[in-house]
């Protein structure tokens, strides 16, 4: 079942708005008036304006909390009660689009992707080639106070700017395939026992300063509801169907705090969706509803069958250290994806692809992550970026950036960040290395980069190689991956490197 409203009846929605209004003054005070005390590395501690704010803001904080504290307590209680009735996600469909029913589609078309208003559109039509591009990106859209702790201030501006850059690339950027094609695909031959040699084409790969034409965008850490709405308003200019405000909120799942942070934007109609929160988490993840968002999309319709795709996106436990939380979450992914497909697939469906993506919070080469890299999930899903457990393709780069270096001039532009990713020494300075031993927040976020001379001797094989953002495809639904790219378009707007994958069906 698809939910287009957060609550089953409008009265509950109005009551939820009331709770948010009661909470807003306190939330604003905490997020905005504490900014002088949580400065990013790009802000000058001795700037006169900041000094004045440090003097003026504390009395204002006390005053506002005294005035609005009691209404906020009422808002918190009401909000917690209402969350018990809140649905696990909301599907937003651009208001100008009115997709026809499945039967109407079958009566009017034979092949081709539909425009959301039901008309065939030559610009959108790709069904004959069955080529699709998907992107996964972690955006760190936390409440302002928490974003500043991650050295990413001005979340309000960032949320709008991220959406704007993605949309601009869809309208104006020439298809990145021209750039990618300069990295020619590599063919190798595998000997077969019963058949002649089979040629296997490895995917092209590159680092892009712009997003290619995208069909699906899977996002993580869109936690703040206000900021995610601003992002969504931009994305709707290109993507008619968006799943947002995903998560289950209660005392046991997230202590009535943050939702899952997951969002999915699609150019194709979403037919079905579901969300499950993970049963195990610890530390800071106890306060967010991390889990798996499961989606079924309609790719094309004919009189006799529907071509569909499955997209699963997730955000796993962060900084698990010596715990084994991630392994348990991977077990649940395998169980939930299988169950969702079994329950949602119909006799007339042809499954074109099954893709799993998101922020996995472990890489393929760090010693601490070895148990995760050998998980049975990788027997079911294929990772084109890795050769085997513990060994990535030479062309891969890390996707988790060093937060303390986010505002250095070298990576202040997409072009500068691309240059850094292509240079092992610069990459070490700006991206976490693939040599994590403890997996703690202190080791990953606070370890300072080495001097250039030490990088050459100690880290050349793992320099800036902590790749924690994945796009995988299910092996029993084989795909021909044409390109896999790392995108620097969101330089200064997030602490992750987005990834994209272009693929076609082999069916």
Residue 60 has a CB neighbour count (10 Å cut-off) of 12
Q: Is 157 a catalytic residue?
A: no
Q: Give the Å distances, CA to CA, from 308 to 266, 291, 427.
A: 13, 23, 39
E strand or H helix that includes residue 355: strand 349-359
Residue 114 DSSP symbol: B
Residue 166 has a CB neighbour count (10 Å cut-off) of 27
The C-alpha atoms of residue 244 and residue 263 are separated, in whole angstroms, by: 5
The C-alpha atoms of residue 207 and residue 435 are separated, in whole angstroms, by: 22
- If you search the block for the tokens 């018990």, which residue do you land on? 84
Residue 392 DSSP symbol: E
- If you search the block for the tokens 């997409």, which residue do you land on? 414
- Given the residues 83, 210, 236, 496, select the one marked as catalytic: 496
The DSSP line for 195-226 is SS-EEEEPPEEEEESS----SEEEEE----HH
The C-alpha atoms of residue 388 and residue 391 are separated, in whole angstroms, by: 5
Residue 37 has a CB neighbour count (10 Å cut-off) of 14
The C-alpha atoms of residue 184 and residue 87 are separated, in whole angstroms, by: 46
Q: Which residues are catalytic?
A: 496
């Amino acid at each position: 079942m698809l939910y287009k409203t957060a609550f089953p009846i409008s009265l509950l929605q109005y009551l939820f708005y009331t709770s948010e209004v009661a909470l807003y003054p306190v939330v604003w005070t905490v997020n905005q008036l504490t900014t002088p005390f949580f400065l990013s590395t790009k802000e000058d501690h001795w700037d006169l304006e900041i000094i004045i704010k440090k003097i003026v803001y504390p009395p204002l904080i006390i005053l506002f909390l005294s005035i609005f504290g009691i209404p906020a307590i009422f808002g918190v209680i009401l909000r917690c009660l209402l969350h018990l009735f809140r649905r696990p996600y909301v599907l937003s469909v651009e208001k100008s689009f009115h997709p026809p029913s499945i039967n109407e589609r079958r009566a009017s078309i034979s092949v081709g992707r539909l425009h959301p208003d039901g008309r065939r559109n030559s610009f959108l039509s790709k069904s004959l080639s069955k080529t699709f591009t998907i992107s996964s990106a972690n955006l760190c859209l936390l409440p302002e106070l928490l974003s500043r702790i991650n050295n990413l201030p001005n979340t309000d501006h960032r949320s709008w700017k991220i959406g704007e850059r993605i949309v601009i690339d869809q309208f104006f950027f020439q298809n990145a395939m021209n750039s990618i094609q300069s990295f020619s695909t590599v063919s190798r031959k595998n000997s077969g026992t019963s058949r002649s040699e089979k040629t296997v084409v490895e995917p092209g790969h590159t680092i892009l300063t712009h997003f290619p034409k995208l069909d699906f965008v899977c996002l993580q850490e869109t936690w703040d509801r206000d900021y995610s709405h601003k992002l969504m308003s931009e994305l709707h200019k290109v993507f008619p169907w968006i799943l947002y405000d995903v998560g289950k909120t209660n005392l046991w799942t997230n202590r009535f705090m943050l939702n899952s942070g997951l969002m999915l934007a699609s150019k194709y109609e979403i037919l079905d969706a579901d969300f499950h929160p993970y049963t195990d988490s610890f530390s800071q993840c106890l306060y967010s509803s991390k889990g798996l968002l499961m989606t079924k999309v309609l790719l094309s319709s004919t009189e006799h069958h529907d071509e569909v795709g499955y997209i699963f996106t997730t955000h796993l436990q962060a900084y698990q250290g010596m715990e084994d939380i991630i392994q348990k979450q991977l077990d649940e992914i395998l169980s939930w994806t299988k169950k969702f497909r079994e329950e949602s697939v119909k006799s007339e469906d042809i499954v074109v692809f099954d893709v799993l993506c998101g922020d996995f919070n472990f890489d393929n080469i760090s010693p601490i992550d070895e148990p995760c890299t050998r998980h049975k999930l990788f027997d079911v899903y294929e990772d084109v970026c890795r050769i085997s457990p513990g060994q990535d393709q030479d062309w891969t780069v890390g996707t988790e950036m060093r937060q303390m270096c986010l505002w250095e001039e070298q990576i202040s532009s997409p072009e500068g960040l691309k240059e850094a990713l292509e240079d092992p020494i610069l990459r070490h300075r700006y991206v976490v290395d693939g040599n994590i031993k403890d997996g703690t927040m202190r080791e990953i976020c606070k370890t300072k980069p080495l001097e250039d001379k030490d990088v050459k001797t100690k880290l050349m094989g793992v320099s800036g190689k902590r790749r924690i953002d994945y796009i995988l495809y299910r092996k029993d639904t084989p795909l021909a991956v044409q390109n896999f790219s790392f995108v620097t378009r969101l330089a200064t707007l997030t602490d992750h490197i987005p990834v994209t994958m272009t693929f076609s069906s082999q069916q």
